[in-house]
Amino acid sequence: MTTLVATGLTDAEVAQRVAEGKTNDVPTRAARSVSDIVRANVFTRINAILGVLLVIVLSTGSVINGAFGLLIIANSAIGIIQELRAKQTLDKLAIVGQAKPLVRRQSGTTPLLPSEVVLDDVIEIGPGDQIVVDGEVLEENNLEVDESLLTGEADPIDKDAGGNVISGSFVVAGSGAYRATKVGREAYAAKLADEASKYTLVNSELRTGINKILQFITYLLIPAGLLTIYTQLFTTDAGWRRSVLAMVGALVPMVPEGLVLMTSIAFAVGVV
């Protein structure tokens, strides 16, 4: 137990740190944009194949034969909705809440927003309070902190003067005060939230296999299409419209659009 009373910053020192950008005002995380999500789910190999075939069919004026184009909308919509929901969840991710900590300054102890805390501020804490920035313990009275949210440590940790506390943890017993040593993006909780919000493409063996199949089919479609339309035009009396429709009718079953659609649905259901 320590009885030393630490003094807070003066108004001039606070103003200097604000001018130097040493505040706890964390900028908005650079999450994946909506346009990136839409682009990634619309411009896919399967959509490109079906899109080209759809344009060829529509050029003949036969809309009903282009019904397979609905699969483009379905595949894109499932992926976009799934990723937008994930983006919404990540955007709301906040390890440190908006409860106002008691900040000790020369003018007195005042509750401030976490974003108003600056480097070297002295912050008073008690049972139930959250540690809003990383810091060094200056005063403690049987201080115990719960860091399970961050480190997985189930038992409360005793904190002595000179010890460190990390942002995102909670005081479960005792009281004390600590000096802010890391604020903003340098704080542990901010780094953890940034890491959790990063977009990473997970390699799926199923998707990798499907992409290889689609790549192989893409190389087969061109000669198969040319051979089919040649056969229709030069060995039968069919006109160009019927020849084109026959070609597309032969090529569409070669594309495993049903497999891709069911895979997308399975992934979407799996994350609900």
CA dihedral of residues 214, 65, 228, 217 (deg, nearest 10): 0
> Mind listing the pLDDT tens digit of every residue in the chain (272 residues)?
554 567 889 989 999 999 999 998 876 666 678 888 899 889 988 888 888 888 888 888 888 888 888 888 988 898 898 888 888 877 776 667 778 899 999 888 999 998 899 999 999 999 999 999 999 999 999 999 999 888 888 889 999 999 999 998 999 999 999 999 999 888 888 888 877 777 666 666 777 787 788 888 888 888 887 787 777 777 676 677 787 788 888 888 877 777 677 777 766 665 54
Residue 194 lies in a domain: no
CATH number at residue 137: 2.70.150.10
Domain residue limits at 144:
11-25+98-184
Residues 102 and 229 grouped into a single domain? no
- Give the chain's domain count: 2
0.85 cut: is pTM over it? no
Rounded distance, CA 23 to CA 9, Å?
13
Residue 148 lies in a domain: yes
pLDDT score for 192: 83
Residues 16 and 85 grouped into a single domain? no
Residue 66 lies in a domain: yes
Residue 106 lies in a domain: yes
Residues 219 and 251 grouped into a single domain? yes
Residue 5 lies in a domain: no
- Token readout for 231 is 């056969």
Rounded distance, CA 16 to CA 118, Å?
10
Residue 265 lies in a domain: yes
- Token readout for 267 is 């992934």
User: HSE on the CB side for 2, CA within 13 Å?
Assistant: 17
Residues 44 and 114 grouped into a single domain? no
Domain boundary among 184, 207, 223: 184
Residues 108 and 18 grouped into a single domain? yes
Residue 146 lies in a domain: yes
145 strand-pairing partners = 157, 171
Q: Which of 67, 69, 64 is nearest to 42 (CA)?
A: 69
pLDDT score for 56: 86
Domain boundary among 140, 157, 184: 184
Residues 146 and 223 grouped into a single domain? no
Residue appearing with tokens 């192989």: 216
pLDDT score for 199: 67
Residue 190 lies in a domain: no
Residues 148 and 213 grouped into a single domain? no
Residues 254 and 221 grouped into a single domain? yes
Residues 213 and 142 grouped into a single domain? no
Residues 16 and 146 grouped into a single domain? yes
Residues 136 and 47 grouped into a single domain? no
Domain boundary among 159, 184, 209: 184
Residues 119 and 16 grouped into a single domain? yes
